[in-house]
Structure 1
């Protein structure tokens, strides 16, 4: 079962009914992204998020009761991933555990205002949150809206992929934001090798990025702002790059020749193109390639605590990590999981967000949304 607020990235005709808020426009979504950034950064504290969920009195080490979980009702997983990937993974989860589950797809810029509204009422129908913005998830933790669960699977993860203290959120895949192009339309010798190459005249109107509602686009900008020259963003805006609601939309234009360069494309699009027998090349710029942890946690106030714990256990297990990252085509934070078909990161310099206080701050989010909307023409 699935729900989504469509952004053109999912196979909606296949995945079932779609739900769109009346009167929602792209500009409105981007305005919501700015509000979400402010709320998630702690602006107004309880005014932004509402009162914390009632304290969970259970031991965070208490395991999931699978018999009870199967009687709790359908688990609701809020996420911003590729819809078809989550549907496939939930099918595996249900087959493994006997627990019914549905997915609700919203990018962070849409999900955060919804969560804030629900938290203010003191109730939510959502149980688990998977997000591309670890900073926003950490703010939910600080505001008391994430339930701590010390899954036995946490031992398989390095501490840099877990909340502090651990148990509130954990990375379930590493999203690397690469540059991509289709060699049918761009020759290898002329393809950009660095971020500065994206400023060449031949790429005017021909570079694509995601819009400001995407958490991965924020992370991309966040790590590069201290690497690239201060005037880089003004020069990039002069190129008039094109904004996309999803990397899937961007890939469709790359493979049709309508767009020449994907300026920031999530790495999981690479194996997807290969599986579809579409030519694709990936570039890891020498200055470093932005990456961020996609994280998962249990929302405070969940009415399906056992089902949520069982989901966390499965997603973070070696079996679950192998299944998820094979479906999506992404890197696992677990060292004992290897996914075939992905480019090696052995000689790649990854740029990961650090300093969570700054990463989740209202100033950084507002700065990004205002600047990025100007860059892509919103």
Structure 2
């Protein structure tokens, strides 16, 4: 087992508009159910698939990954398979969710493959019949059932955390917050930055977990701390490294790790209450305009080689059993984690958006 498995084994439009009254599937059913007859057999990357994908010459990826990350991934695929261009359309996951819904409502079929930082989106897309089944041998053999859809509609491409962090030029280690509760200390008023759940799937998922563990009470108090509000979970690490704020109340931990490795004055903090955990699944749309290129990209993305390459340069975590942590980085199995619940997020999305906007006046 890899580090993620060790850790996890024990641990615009409203959502209703998009679902149109359909019954959402629970995450436990989506990932953990026994495989059913409808699931397709595992496939490999064949010369025939490569040839068909090359003739299509393009794959369109909608992704919430930081743009430089998505583009680097795209360039790696293009180098592996010359003649197939990767068009990366990057936005926050909540915006991507709205975009897909609007495109489908308008009869636009532009996206081939999508990766979201809000796993609950795949509950909706699967319910609506918008996803195409495709399972590779890597996914079937090396991904635990909790991290792959039994019907082959999607698989967890990456896992990452939403942590606290601080600027080491502005805060001494002994004075740094150690918990979410510490962020309520008046000394941090006007000195914090955080992302927005209406834009970022990472922040939506983290907010749900924190509401579940700490209550809305916590956010009512945090909102009084004059927190700088940004959109994406990728923004707080950047604001922190620039010294615009001393403390990051939430945001992606991998951004902090990469900045620290690059010599920037930032340090991650894994709160004593537990660190919110986020899964990023990837799936293919049934209406993909470049279906063979989409299948090739999905297959390539979940190979051991690509997964190892991806986590090495992004400082995220893989659920592929053969992938190992990069030496020198903290193992996820050493971190106390908050548990994911995509079905819970799906049910609370509209409430989180509305209550958060009122509390933080954004």
Report the TM-score range of the alignment, normalised by the length of the smaller protein: 0.7 to 0.9
1:291 equivalent in alignment to 2:277: yes
1:327-376 Cα offsets, whole Å, 9 max, x none, are: 2221111232123243222331211322x433212xx1111001222333
Q: Name the residue aligned to 1:351.
A: 338
1:93 equivalent in alignment to 2:77: yes
- How far apart are the structure 1 equivalents of 2:41 and 2:123? 18
Q: 2:63 aligns with which of 79, 87, 90?
A: 79
- How far apart are the structure 2 equivalents of 1:332 and 1:61? 20
Measured after TM superposition, the shift of residue 179 of structure 1 is: 0.6
Matches of residues 1-378 of structure 1 in structure 2 within 5 Å?
Answer: 32=12, 35-40=13-18, 42-45=19-22, 61=42, 63=44, 65-98=49-82, 99-154=84-139, 155-163=141-149, 165-211=150-196, 212-340=198-326, 341-354=328-341, 356-361=342-347, 364-378=348-362
- How far apart are the structure 1 equivalents of 2:173 and 2:105? 53
After superposing the two structures, state which structure 1 stretch, 94-103 or 310-319, moved more: 94-103
Measured after TM superposition, the shift of residue 59 of structure 1 is: 5.8
- How far apart are the structure 2 equivalents of 1:335 and 1:60? 20
- How far apart are the structure 2 equivalents of 1:248 and 1:215? 11
Using structure 1 for the length normalisation, give the TM-score.
0.82
Work out whether residues 36 and 112 of structure 1, in 8 Å CA contact, stay in contact via their aligned partners in 2: no
1:125-147 Cα offsets, whole Å, 9 max, x none, are: 11000000111112101110111
- Structure 2 CA distance for partners of 1:343 and 1:59, relative to 1, 3 Å: closer
Note the residue ranges of structure 2 that are not aligned, 5 or more in a row: 1-11, 24-37
After superposing the two structures, state which structure 1 stretch, 202-211 or 127-136, moved more: 202-211
Work out whether residues 223 and 352 of structure 1, in 8 Å CA contact, stay in contact via their aligned partners in 2: yes
- How far apart are the structure 2 equivalents of 1:59 and 1:161? 16
Kindly tell me the number of residue pairs found equivalent between the two proteins.
330
Work out whether residues 203 and 233 of structure 2, in 8 Å CA contact, stay in contact via their aligned partners in 1: no
Work out whether residues 129 and 296 of structure 1, in 8 Å CA contact, stay in contact via their aligned partners in 2: yes
- Structure 2 CA distance for partners of 1:307 and 1:235, relative to 1, 3 Å: same
Q: Determine helix, strand or coil for the equivalent of 1:174.
A: strand
Work out whether residues 89 and 323 of structure 1, in 8 Å CA contact, stay in contact via their aligned partners in 2: no
Measured after TM superposition, the shift of residue 176 of structure 1 is: 0.6
- Structure 2 CA distance for partners of 1:331 and 1:119, relative to 1, 3 Å: same
Measured after TM superposition, the shift of residue 303 of structure 1 is: 2.2
- Structure 2 CA distance for partners of 1:262 and 1:305, relative to 1, 3 Å: same
Measured after TM superposition, the shift of residue 377 of structure 1 is: 2.5
Note the residue ranges of structure 1 that are not aligned, 5 or more in a row: 1-31, 47-56
Q: Determine helix, strand or coil for the equivalent of 1:173.
A: strand
Using structure 2 for the length normalisation, give the TM-score.
0.85
- How far apart are the structure 2 equivalents of 1:376 and 1:78? 29
- Structure 2 CA distance for partners of 1:229 and 1:61, relative to 1, 3 Å: closer
- How far apart are the structure 2 equivalents of 1:59 and 1:358? 28
Work out whether residues 162 and 252 of structure 2, in 8 Å CA contact, stay in contact via their aligned partners in 1: yes
- Structure 2 CA distance for partners of 1:62 and 1:269, relative to 1, 3 Å: closer
- How far apart are the structure 2 equivalents of 1:95 and 1:303? 22
RMSD (Å), alpha carbons = 2.1
